[in-house]
Amino acid sequence: MTTFRKLSLTTTLVLSSFLMSGCATGGAGMVGSSSNVKYGDAKAAETVTADFGSTDLQSTAETLTQSLLESRYIAKAQKPPKVRLRAVNNLTYEHIDTKAITDKIRIKLLKSGQVRFLADTANLNQVNSERDLTTAATTKTKMKAMTDSDYIITGNVRSIKKANDDVKDVYYNVSMELVDPQSGEILWADEKEIRKVTAKSSVGW
Amino acid sequence: MSLTKNTLLSLTLGSLLLLGLSGCARKNEGNFIGKERVVLKEHKSFQEGKFLKVTATFENEDDTEVEGMVYQVQWLDSRGIMVDQTSWKPFTIIGKQQIHVVDMASRPDVTNYRIIISTPNK
């Protein structure tokens, strides 16, 4: 009798949980799933406009990272060189977050294990204020010197735009270089070229 | 006696299951999403220093249709786990044209790859 009661209680619980989940909007772990907002593939090729977009950012970072990893100054280095990212200049007419490009390259290079990075010049204020809080600074003992970078990475983003009544053509050129800060010698340089064409009459896709 | 029999049986079944699973694993093959309008003519990989490099050739066998599509390379480690992937890279290929692409993994633990081609709906 007790077993029968237990069994019926379990059945009731299971059935009610099924019914409850059927009534819930969006299901477990989802809110507002009936709205127009949907998650997409973050790596999908995006062609909403001809402006510099996520696909351009990703493909630029991938190409330049691959090229840098193949360069003999990284690939043949005895131990991972210390690199500091300097500014990449945006010489285009539109706003491009060039730091997003260099940050993405840095993430990929760090994952490769072939390169070590020093704090960005933009973040040096934070590093210096942290140094001021260290024991060495507060007890006024000798501070450890900051590490020299073996190389720095700089670059430029350029664009050429042309348009007539039917076609708009945008060409982006992202170039980067690896420089030895001691000698000033450019050791590696490469570029990523992107062409985007917007046609008023839809041809292709 | 019965315990030994059961252990042997489960071991045999486990081995068979593992064999079956390894048979299902697809190595270095192109996968298509959508209609297969471009052929993955050939693909090969080699070691470039610590990293795996992949070259692939796509061909549009149709001599009139211009095809626009995207491809992605998924990077797998020795256990078959996807550890990285490229962005979906767009390319346009005219009739009878071949396109060669080169991609390199940026992680040293990558030992295998999978190329995926996606075509838009027409």
pLDDT category, A137, cuts 50, 70, 90?
Answer: confident
- Write out chain A residues lying below 8 Å of B62, CB-based: none
Among candidates A43, A44, A111 on the partner chain, residue whose Cβ is nearest the Cβ of B107: A111
**Highest mean predicted confidence (pLDDT) among A16-30, A182-196, B4-18:** A182-196
Residue A50 pLDDT > 50: yes
Q: Considering the domain boundaries, does residue A32 fall inside one?
A: no
Contact criterion met (CB < 8 Å) for B108 and A58: no
The predicted model gives A52-57 an average pLDDT of 93
The pLDDT score that the predictor gives to residue B14 is: 46
pLDDT category, A18, cuts 50, 70, 90?
Answer: low
- The CATH number linked to A73 is 3.40.50.10610
Q: What is the tens place of the pLDDT at every residue in A82-93? A: 999 998 999 999
- Write out chain A residues lying below 8 Å of B48, CB-based: 70
Residues 6+ apart with CB under 8 A from A201: A166
Laid out side by side, the sheet with B51-59 consists of B39-48, B51-59, B98-104
- Write out chain B residues lying below 8 Å of A65, CB-based: 106
B62 versus A31: the higher-pLDDT residue is: A31
Number of domains, chain A: 1
Residue B22 pLDDT > 90: no
Pairing between β-strand A167-179 and β-strand A151-163 as defined by DSSP bridges: antiparallel
**Highest mean predicted confidence (pLDDT) among A35-44, A122-131, A156-165, A193-202:** A156-165
Domain interval for residue A125: 50-199
pLDDT category, B106, cuts 50, 70, 90?
Answer: very high
Spell out the domains of chain B, with CATH numbers in brackets.
29-118 (2.60.40.3230)
The pLDDT score that the predictor gives to residue A164 is: 93
Contact criterion met (CB < 8 Å) for A58 and B66: no
pLDDT category, A2, cuts 50, 70, 90?
Answer: low
Q: What is the tens place of the pLDDT at every residue in B51-105? A: 999 999 998 887 777 778 899 999 999 999 999 999 999 888 888 889 999 999 9
- Write out chain B residues lying below 8 Å of A55, CB-based: 87-88, 90
Q: Which long-range contacts (CB under 8 A, 24 or more apart) does A23-26 make?
A: none
Return the SS3 of B55: strand
Residue A81 pLDDT > 90: yes
Q: Considering the domain boundaries, does residue A23 fall inside one?
A: no
Preferred mutation among B35, B72, B74, B87 to probe A, highest tally of A CBs within 10 A = B87
DSSP letter at B34?
A: S
- Measured in angstroms, the CA of A93 and the nearest CA of chain B are apart by 25
Contact criterion met (CB < 8 Å) for A66 and B120: no
The predicted model gives A74-101 an average pLDDT of 93
The predicted model gives A134-141 an average pLDDT of 78
Task: Give me the total of CB pairs closer than 8 Å, taking one residue from chain A and one from chain B.
Answer: 54
The predicted model gives A176-200 an average pLDDT of 94
Preferred mutation among A60, A69, A108, A115 to probe B, highest tally of B CBs within 10 A = A69
B122 versus A13: the higher-pLDDT residue is: B122
The pLDDT score that the predictor gives to residue B13 is: 45
Question: A58 — contact with chain B (CB < 8 Å)?
Answer: yes
